[in-house]
Structure 1
Amino acid sequence: MQTLKLWSKMLFRQWYKKLILAAILGVGLYCSFYLLDNGKNKWKFSKSTQTTRQKTESQDVVEIDPESQIQDNQNVYKVPKENIHIHTCPACFGKDLCTDIETGSLELYKNSKTESHDLSWREAILHKADKVVVSSVSDSSWNKFDQYICNNASKKFPCDVSTGIMASYLASNRVMTADGLRNLYRVLDKSRSEVVLPICATNKLVDELKATFDDDGDGQLNKEEQAQLMTALLMHPSYVLLKFQDTVNTNLPIPNFQGTCGRLAVWEGGLTPLEDHLQESFEERAGLASQLLQLVDDFQNEDPNWYFLYTEFSYNSLSVTKEGEILLTNLQDVAIIDKTLFPQTEDLISGTNERLCNDICFQKFTRDILTSPNVTGVCSQLRHYGQLMYAIVCKQILSDLEEHKTEGFFNYDGNKDQQKSEYSGLLHSPPEKDRENIEEVLRECVQETTAGGRNQAVEELQDILEIYLSYNDVDHENEDGNDDEYEEEENDKESENY
C-alpha cells in the first residue's frame, strides 16, 4: 500500500501539468460543440419563425383587382335587363334608346330611386355626360294593364302581350277618334281624372297625336305605333306630353325628352326640387316666383293652337335647373286642349265681360269637366276657368299667409283646420317696404273680390317682382365689373406714381 501511494505522488508531480492541460482542452471542446449545436438550432427556429410570419402576413393581404375596385367605387350601374321589359313591345313606350342601354351608355345612380303614386324615377347619366331621369310605372299597374290586354284579345292571362295588344281594342280604329280618346279612361276602369290628357280631345288632337307617334314618318299610324301611343296615354301621359312638345315645336317650361326603351321613359335630369330653394335670398325667390307665374301664362298663351291645363301645382311637381330655370316635372295631370274649341268673340279675347270666380265657381267647373256628358261644351269655356291655375299657384306655393297654409286648393268638407302645408311660401319674409302690397295681391289672386281681380293681381305681383329681378341684374353687372374697376384703379395709381 505504501509503495502504491509513493508511485501515485510521483506520477502526479510528473504529469499534473499535462493532465490540467488535457482537462482544459476537453472542457473547451465540449463547450465548442455545445454552442455550435445550439446555434444551429437557434438558426433553424429563427428561420422557421420568419417563414411562419411571412406566411401569416401574406394571408392577411387581400389583393384587389384594380378594375373591380373602380367599379365598386363608382356610383352608377347599368340598367338591369329585367327593368326594361322589351319583350312586351309594342305594349310599351318605344325602342329608340335601346341601343344606348345595350351598350351601357345609360347608367343609373345608386340609391336614387323615388316613388310617387304609381310612378318611379331614377337619376341616371347618359353618354357619361348628360344627367337624365329614368321613369316607369309600378309593377302592379303594369300587371293590371297586361291582364286587360289578354282578356280583351281573348287570351288566357298571363299571355304574350306583345301579340295580344295587336288584337285588342287599343290597336283598333275605334279608339283613334276624338270620342275614343275622351273615353279612354274606361279601358282600365279608371276615372276621367286619371286620364286627363285627352279629356277634351278633338279630331285635330287625334291627328297631332298620330303625328307625334308616327316614328317611321310615313304620314300614318300603323298598329304598332298606335299600340305604343295607347300604352303611353293610359300608363304614362307625362311621356306623351314630352314627346308632343317636340312634335308641335312649342317651348313649354317642361323637361326635354330623351327617348324610351321598353317600359322605361327618359328625359332631362340634373334638376333640384323647388323646395330646396326656400332659404335663398328674397331676390332669388322672387325670380323663381316670377317664372312660375310666367309658366302659367305660357300654358295658356305660348302656343297659338294648344292650351294646357294643370291643376296639381305643388312643391313636389316643380324643379329648378342648374341655370335657375323653373320647370314643371310632374306632368301626369296635364290636359291638352284644342284652342279651336274656344269661342272667337272679341269680348273673350280682350278679357272683358269677366265673371267673379272662386271656390264654388271652380268646383262646379272641375266637376263638370270630369262628369258632364257634354264635355266638349265645358272645354269650350275653359279659357275663362283657366285662371284657376293662378289661384292654385298663389295659394299652394307663393303665399306664406296663415290663411293659405292648408293643403289643397279646394276645401270640400268646410274644415279650415285641415292638414297644414309642410313648406313655407316661396315669397316668405318679403322686405318690409313691399310686404303689405305682396300680401294684398296674393289674397286677391287666391280669392278675388271683383270680376277680373285675379288677373289684375297677377299683373301687379309681376310688377313688384320685376323690381327685384332688376336688383339681381344690377348685382350681377357689379360682380362682373368689379375686376375691371379694380384694374382701372390700379392703373390710375401707377400713372400717378410715374
Structure 2
Amino acid sequence: MTRCNKIKTLLLRRKCRSASLLILLILAAYSVYYLCSDHLSTAAFLELHKCPACYGVSYCDHLLEKRVIPKSWSGTGLSNLINVKNVFFARHSHRWVVLKKLGHDKELTTLDRKLCSLANKTTSSCEVNKLHLEPLFTTHLRSKKFLLELVTGISDLTRCPSKRLVDLILNRYSERYLVGQDVQKRWTPERIMVLLTTLAANPEPVIMQVFHQDNGWPFPRYYGACGRMVVEQYVGKSLGDYYVSPWRTRVGLAYQLFQIADLLTNNKGNWSLYWTDVSYDNIAVDPDGRVVVVDLENIIVVDKLKIIQDRPPEWDKVLTSTFDECIPNHNCLSFSPDSLCTRLVADHNYYAVCHGILSSYADDEGRPGGLLHSMPDIIKTTWGLDKLLDECAKPSSEQTSRLKIKDQLLTVLAELAGVNG
C-alpha cells in the first residue's frame, strides 16, 4: 500500500468514527428527550385511540393542553420505564392530583382480551375501539336486565349487583365519550362501552362517583378521565407514614378507621361495602387529619334490600369471619365473596381493620404490633384496649361477637381520641 493510500484509509476511518460518534450523540439526545419529555400530554400514551374502550374524555382538554404539570420525573419517559403501577403525581392549577392507568401494562392487555370476550370476539379479530358498533351493546340500551347480567362479576363492585345498584350507577356515573358531550345525554352504545371498560379494568372511578365524598363516603374525589388515564384527588401521605407518629395522633387515626369500617358495614343507604384489601398503602390522611381510603378496586358492594327481598339460605344469620394466621404473610385476609353477597350482616370490615391494621396480629410490611404499637401501660390497664383489639382480630371463643366488641371499641377509641372530651 502506497503512502497516499495509507493516508486515505486513515482519513476514511476517522470519518467513520466521527459519523458513528455523531449517530451515538443523536441517539443519546433523543433518549434524553424521550426520558425527560412529558408523556402525560400525549394522545398515544393516554391511549385515546382505544376509545370508546377507554375510561372517558372529560379531562382531555386539561391533559392535552399541558395544564397538568407532572411532579418531577412523574409522567416522563423515565418514569414510564420504572413505574410498574402506572400511577403518576402531578399538579393542576392549585391542587395536586393522582393519575392512574388503573392497572399494570400486562393487566391492561388482559383487559382488551376481556372486552373482546364480552363481545364474543376472538382476540385475533378484535379491535377494542370498534366494539361499540356490535349489536350486543345496542341491546343494552333497551334492556337494563341485560345490562345487569353483563356487568355481574365483571369487577368486585358488581360481583353481586342488584337492579338498584345498576340504576344508581346509571344515575350518578358522569363520564362521557365525546368532548363537550352533555353528561345527561342518553346512554349511547359508546358511553356504555366506556362504563364497561372502566368496570372491567378497575371500578375505582365508578365507586368514587356512585358513593361520593360529598355524601360522607371516605373516598377521594374523581376529577375525570382521558383515554386510559383517570385523574383523582391527591389526598395526602400514606397511613404508613404515621406508624411512628405520637400515640395521640395514632389513636385518633385508629378511631377514624373503625368509624370507616362501621360506615361501610351500616349506612342509611342500606348498602354494605366490604373492604377486602386493607393495608397502609391503600389508606391516606389528608392535611386536616382525615382518613381516606384511596384504593377502591377490591370493594364488594352488597344491596341489603335485595337480600331481604330474595331471602337466600341463612340470609339472616350473621356471617362471622374466621381468623387466619397467614404465615409467613401476616397481612392476609380470608373471606368468601359468595357468602358476603348473601348475608344481611357480616363482621368482615371490623375483622379486616383489626387483623390488618390495629391489633397486635397486624404485621404489614415490617410494621409489627399494628398502628397502635407501643401502647401506654395505663391504656392497657384502664381501658383494656389491647385485649379488645386482639379479641376483634381473633376472638378467644365462639361465643365472642365482633359486633359487640366493635361497639366497645368505638366507645373506647372515641374517648381516647378526645372525641367526647
Q: TM-score, normalised by structure 1?
A: 0.63
Tell me whether 1:359 sits opposite 2:329 in the alignment.
Answer: no
User: Paired residue for 1:435, among 363, 380, 384?
Assistant: 380
RMSD: 3.6
Aligned sequence identity (%)? 22
Tell me whether 1:426 sits opposite 2:371 in the alignment.
Answer: yes
What is the letter of the counterpart of residue 187 of structure 2?
L
Structure 2: unaligned runs, 5 residues or longer: 1-35, 177-181, 310-315, 325-331
Alignment CA distance shift 1:324-1:473 (3 Å): farther
What is the letter of the counterpart of residue 163 of structure 1?
K
Distance 1:356 1:199 in 2: 18
Alignment CA distance shift 1:334-1:155 (3 Å): closer
Q: What is the correspondence of 1:374-393 to structure 2 with a 5 Å cutoff?
A: 379-381=341-343, 383-385=344-346, 387-393=347-353
Alignment CA distance shift 1:132-1:424 (3 Å): farther
User: Paired residue for 1:397, among 347, 357, 365?
Assistant: 357
Alignment CA distance shift 1:461-1:406 (3 Å): same
Deviation at 1:392, TM superposition (A): 1.7
Structure 1 match to 2:108:
142
Alignment CA distance shift 1:241-1:148 (3 Å): closer
Structure 1 match to 2:92:
126
Larger deviation, residues 305-314 vs 205-214: 205-214
Q: Which structure features the higher share of helix residues?
A: 1
1:93–1:264 CA contact under 8 A, matched in 2:
yes
Q: Deviations over 1:183-217 (max 9, x none)?
A: 43xxxxxxxxxx21101111111222222336535
1:209–1:244 CA contact under 8 A, matched in 2:
yes
Alignment CA distance shift 1:76-1:85 (3 Å): closer
Structure 1: unaligned runs, 5 residues or longer: 1-73, 185-194, 345-352, 371-377, 408-419, 475-498
Structure 2 match to 1:410:
none
1:76–1:109 CA contact under 8 A, matched in 2:
no
Distance 1:138 1:171 in 2: 30
Instruction: Give aligned pairs, total.
Output: 355
Structure 1 match to 2:403:
455
Q: Deviations over 1:339-367 (max 9, x none)?
A: 212438xxxxxxxx976834179x9x943
User: Paired residue for 2:264, among 270, 277, 299?
Assistant: 299
What is the letter of the counterpart of residue 87 of structure 2?
W
Deviation at 1:396, TM superposition (A): 1.3
2:39–2:45 CA contact under 8 A, matched in 1:
no
Distance 1:180 1:147 in 2: 16
Structure 2 match to 1:284:
249
Distance 2:243 2:401 in 1: 28
Q: What is the correspondence of 1:266-345 to structure 2 with a 5 Å cutoff?
A: 266-343=231-308
User: Paired residue for 1:105, among 67, 70, 73?
Assistant: 67
SS at 1:201's partner residue? coil
More contact order relative to length (CA 8 Å, sep ≥ 6): 2
User: Which has more radius of gyration?
Assistant: 1
Distance 1:226 1:340 in 2: 26
Deviation at 1:421, TM superposition (A): 4.6
User: Paired residue for 2:219, among 242, 246, 254?
Assistant: 254
Deviation at 1:458, TM superposition (A): 2.1
Q: Deviations over 1:426-466 (max 9, x none)?
A: 11112211124011101221123354631222222222222
What is the letter of the counterpart of residue 192 of structure 2?
Q
What is the letter of the counterpart of residue 251 of structure 1?
G
